[in-house]
Structure 1
Amino acid sequence: MLLKKYVKTRRKVKILLLVTIVALIVITCIILLGSSSATSGSNVERLLDERFIARAYQPQSEQQQQQQQPRDVAAALLQPQREHGVIVPEKYDEQKIKSRIMQNRLQQLKQQQQRDAEAEQARTTLDALATAVHIFYTAPVPWYKSKKPPLPAPEHPNEVALPLTTPKPVKILNTAFYPALGLYKPSAKLLGQHFENIRSCGIGVLILSYSKPTDPALLHQIIELAPQHNLSVTFELSVAGNRTVEYLRQQLQDIATYVELPGFYRVWSQSRAALMPVLYVSNAYKLSESLGRQMCHITALSKPPGKEEAGGLRSVLDAFFIGHIRLKSHADVLRRLCFDGFYSKLPSNGAVFASTWKNWSYLKSYALSYKMLFVPTVGPGFAERNKFPRHGDIQRHRSNGRYYGVAWRTAILNHVGFISIASYNNWPDGSQIEEVVPRAGFLDYNPGSKTKYLDLTAHWVGNFLKTRQEAAGVAQNCYELLNNTIC
């Protein structure tokens, strides 16, 4: 309406169009001048970005030359390559990328080896040996376990799949860590290397599992080689509730042939005025019904007339028998069976009563009350590589060595006579302190060197020795095993 009001003649229409064109020309000029000034600033920023990109994508020598070139040359380097007027994208050289990744990986491995070598040279070692510190040693290590393959799926949901032939069990690697020495087998060189590592930790006694079938030649080799490294050897008998007294008697008869060897561990008994071997008995609490009082000492009053030679198991082999317990009541069971002591064996805090650290004070007091020995078992952790562990949920993370340290500290503060370590090389249980190597699919000791737990063991054995030396001036019970003497 306004347009019709003011524009009624042709002359006024022409004037209005002319004013509109002039206004558009003025606005266009203003916009162009503003964009030119902004472009000049952005060109500088873009040029700086291009120089940075050129330096990043050029080799070092070319980078040094590029720093001396002017901005226009830097911008020219980023001119896209063209073929027939079409921009050709930069080619992705996969081989160069892989080569660079491999070189970086090799460099990292060299640095890790250098750090391990430095850690090996700076290892914590002890010159003194603690014969009251025992360690479980496995020879040979059962690296593999058998696993049944799964049954084939049935064709129809309501049918049961029955294999035509019995599937053969498959062997799988049964360890959560990978050893630095590989999947080794016992040899004189390997045993010497292991024994030297154990001796450098200050440990004085090896505990070998004795269960049939076993290799007598290997046992003789270990017992003869151990004294060359200032080590002694003792056995852990393996029994169960379904074993008879005759089975245990036969085991003791076989062990009696090893006891007289110089490398077998013995302590001085004040009451018997003789050197007595120390033997561990696994699952001893299961022998309550079948064993009776076969472990009790035979006195002149208790011998039946005319049967002086008849008697219990100590007539076959007299020793300090230390039995394995799990529950609180098992300590009383072994006391009634005339065992000389008990040990916890499982290095998993909270799994059972005996392996729980806060219960060790009670077990120590109970042992002293009945003139027995309590041997706590410490370990760096527990990692069975089973989907459903045979003992339940007893996996224990190493927590960068802190788990190991708390176990040691608790045992030392309770002033126990013996301490057993589980273990040097029990790889299936994941409780080893032996060196490991990082490998895909396996756990390792990072952060830290491969000898991390050997160093920690030497540290805590040194603390144990220091505590015993400080307590030597105080009146101690002879069951503290000072000077390798027992009641």
Structure 2
Amino acid sequence: MLVCGRRKWRTIIIFLVIISALCIFPLYSGILHEESTDSYIAKQNEVFVDVPSITSPDIGRHFNPKLLAGLMADIKSNKSNNVINHQKVLMKQDVDRDVVNYNVHAFYYAWYGNPGQDGEYFHWNHEYLPHWEKKISDKYPTGQAHIPPDDIGSSYYPLLGPYSSSDETVTRSHMIQMQQAGIGVLALSWYPPGLADDHGKPIEHYIPTLFDIADQYNIKVCFHIEPYKDRSPESVKENLKYIIETYGDHPAFYRTSTSEGSRKLPLVYVYDSYLIPANQWSKILKKRAEISIRGSIFDAVVIGLLVEKKHIWELSSAGFDGFYTYFAAEKFSYGSTRRYWREIESFAIENKMIFIPSIGPGYDDTSVRPWNNINSRKRNDGAYYETGWHKATTLSTVNIVSITSFNEWHEGTQIEPASPQSRHGKSVYLTYEPHDPDYYLKLTKKWSMKMLNATRDVT
């Protein structure tokens, strides 16, 4: 019995050793060939951390600003291996985990440049603009430019530093932030190919890359057409044709349902639309006009800017599909004054138009317009932003809310993370403290999901 028992146990042990070897060898081989897997997952968990939200306990996973800061430090110091590792971390995301709301649009600016990526700074070195009255201008340091990286044309300092908008790592981090904030649509500030604003460079070469990265995070892109030189209804029609032919087949290209059937159309915002008279706009926006876009393959939902009260009638008579208010400074304009929003909504209902209110976290452009402090709006620990969200989401027929802005740093309307920083050791930039750098992304997530859930309840 004893001898047989030993033989039996010896056989069992040998069998177990063979089975273990067969199981362990592939695993070990996998570790040898894919040794980064565990560290990859570990680093992914470093990018997003489970922390309780200041404003909502169900927001959960948030961007880790320390890792982002480390990423940008590696870029600045040209530590290529570290940059590659960070990029892997930023790329490895569970996209399906984070729901975005395609009825939340954020105005986005890809006009920033720095020496590392572009050979020089642009926009971060924005000059102080003069007041139109000389006696007021003379009181301020107008004309001189800011000197990055310590001194930039903003009252806040970005967590990523004075970045380049054509840096893929920056674009990827922006898309991650938008996704985490529940933002579904990026409204890209756009000039036709070869054109740019007075302080930037043309960005058309980079837009395909931006589309590709946005698509990886389920973000859609629409266009915010700026008032370029000699803009006209005819040129805007050509712009629409170019945009649709160039980007219309990309999965990240934003289209929206219309009230006139199942066909989905691109949506475009037209900034400073009031610069062109209504009877000129009607040439392309009225159905029976000679060069109308209506019913053609280049048709679109065209949203004009509402500034003064008279613009609601002008936009309606011109054939615009709707209007947005853009400005983040409460009471700066008729359109940005929240107590008028129900009145504006009623007009939209009566005239079968789309009303897209714009909300922002605050306003401070004194680093480029030092004489404009009267229009500054304090953030009040997020209360200003949340009040705007509340006003917009309690309008009964408003389906889309626009955010001014994701990253318009000159006017201090950004929700992108900001970092504490001093300006040449003298003055100090404004911050979101005592809250985290990603505080306004968290607030956006809270309201974006609240808006989305309300829509689901209705449907």
Measured against the shorter chain, the TM-score band is 0.5 to 0.7
Structure 1 residues 299-333: Cα deviation after superposition (integer angstroms, max 9, x where no partner): xxx47xxxxxx522445720000111101110110
For residue 458 of structure 1, the aligned residue among 445, 449, 454 is 445
Gaps of 5+ in 1: 1-115, 150-167, 304-309, 473-487
Deviation of the 1:377 alpha carbon: 0.4
Identity value in percent: 29
Q: Establish whether residue 288 from structure 1 lines up as the match of residue 270 from structure 2.
A: no
1:345 aligns with 326
Three-state SS of the structure 1 residue aligned to 2:256 is: strand
Cα distance 1:273–1:179, how it changes in 2: closer, same or farther (>3 A)?
same
Tell me if structure 2 keeps the 8 A contact 1:252–1:316: no
1:179-194 matches, within 5 Å, as: 179-186=158-165, 187-194=167-174
Cα distance 1:450–1:120, how it changes in 2: closer, same or farther (>3 A)?
farther
Tell me if structure 1 keeps the 8 A contact 2:361–2:382: yes
Deviation of the 1:392 alpha carbon: 7.6
**Partners of 1:332 and 1:241 in 2: CA distance:** 25
Q: Which amino acid aligns with 1:198?
A: M
2:110 aligns with 139
1:174 aligns with 153
Three-state SS of the structure 1 residue aligned to 2:247 is: helix
Tell me if structure 2 keeps the 8 A contact 1:209–1:236: yes
Q: Which amino acid aligns with 1:191?
A: T
Q: Which amino acid aligns with 2:164?
A: K
Tell me if structure 1 keeps the 8 A contact 2:153–2:410: yes
Q: Establish whether residue 408 from structure 1 lines up as the match of residue 379 from structure 2.
A: no
Deviation of the 1:241 alpha carbon: 9.8
For residue 278 of structure 1, the aligned residue among 245, 260, 267 is 267
**Partners of 1:388 and 1:445 in 2: CA distance:** 21
1:266 aligns with 255
For residue 248 of structure 1, the aligned residue among 236, 255, 259 is 236
Q: Which moved more, 1:429-438 or 1:135-144?
A: 135-144
Deviation of the 1:243 alpha carbon: 3.3
Q: Establish whether residue 199 from structure 1 lines up as the match of residue 186 from structure 2.
A: no
Deviation of the 1:140 alpha carbon: 2.7
**Partners of 2:456 and 2:339 in 1: CA distance:** 25
Cα distance 1:119–1:383, how it changes in 2: closer, same or farther (>3 A)?
farther
Three-state SS of the structure 2 residue aligned to 1:459 is: helix
Tell me if structure 2 keeps the 8 A contact 1:295–1:313: yes
Q: Which moved more, 1:219-228 or 1:313-322?
A: 313-322
**Partners of 1:117 and 1:220 in 2: CA distance:** 26
Deviation of the 1:402 alpha carbon: 0.4
Three-state SS of the structure 2 residue aligned to 1:467 is: helix
1:427 aligns with 409
**Partners of 1:170 and 1:395 in 2: CA distance:** 21
For residue 429 of structure 2, the aligned residue among 438, 442, 446 is 442
Cα distance 1:324–1:238, how it changes in 2: closer, same or farther (>3 A)?
same
The number of aligned residues is 330
Cα distance 1:243–1:140, how it changes in 2: closer, same or farther (>3 A)?
closer
Deviation of the 1:398 alpha carbon: 0.2
**Partners of 1:273 and 1:347 in 2: CA distance:** 34
2:16 aligns with none
Cα distance 1:185–1:367, how it changes in 2: closer, same or farther (>3 A)?
same
For residue 312 of structure 1, the aligned residue among 267, 292, 297 is 292
Tell me if structure 1 keeps the 8 A contact 2:154–2:368: no
Structure 1 residues 146-165: Cα deviation after superposition (integer angstroms, max 9, x where no partner): 3599xxxxxxxxxxxxxxxx
Structure 1 residues 403-445: Cα deviation after superposition (integer angstroms, max 9, x where no partner): 0010000001113110001111111110111111112220001
Q: Establish whether residue 395 from structure 1 lines up as the match of residue 384 from structure 2.
A: no
Deviation of the 1:269 alpha carbon: 3.0
Deviation of the 1:225 alpha carbon: 1.5
Three-state SS of the structure 2 residue aligned to 1:285 is: helix
CA RMSD of aligned residues (A): 2.7
**Partners of 2:51 and 2:273 in 1: CA distance:** 43
Deviation of the 1:399 alpha carbon: 0.5
Three-state SS of the structure 2 residue aligned to 1:293 is: helix
Tell me if structure 1 keeps the 8 A contact 2:364–2:373: no
Q: Which moved more, 1:443-452 or 1:383-392?
A: 383-392
Q: Establish whether residue 372 from structure 1 lines up as the match of residue 353 from structure 2.
A: yes
Tell me if structure 2 keeps the 8 A contact 1:383–1:396: yes
**Partners of 1:270 and 1:292 in 2: CA distance:** 21
Structure 1 residues 116-160: Cα deviation after superposition (integer angstroms, max 9, x where no partner): 9997744535832210110111113321213599xxxxxxxxxxx
Larger radius of gyration: 1
2:22 aligns with none
2:56 aligns with none
Scaled by the length of structure 2, the TM-score of the pair is 0.67
**Partners of 1:147 and 1:460 in 2: CA distance:** 35
**Partners of 1:470 and 1:436 in 2: CA distance:** 35
Cα distance 1:270–1:388, how it changes in 2: closer, same or farther (>3 A)?
closer
Q: Which moved more, 1:175-184 or 1:208-217?
A: 208-217
**Partners of 1:387 and 1:190 in 2: CA distance:** 24
Cα distance 1:261–1:429, how it changes in 2: closer, same or farther (>3 A)?
same
Tell me if structure 2 keeps the 8 A contact 1:178–1:442: yes
Cα distance 1:455–1:180, how it changes in 2: closer, same or farther (>3 A)?
same
Q: Which amino acid aligns with 1:355?
A: S
Cα distance 1:222–1:350, how it changes in 2: closer, same or farther (>3 A)?
same
Gaps of 5+ in 2: 1-45, 54-58, 62-96, 113-122, 131-142, 197-201, 423-427
Deviation of the 1:250 alpha carbon: 3.1
Q: Establish whether residue 356 from structure 1 lines up as the match of residue 327 from structure 2.
A: no
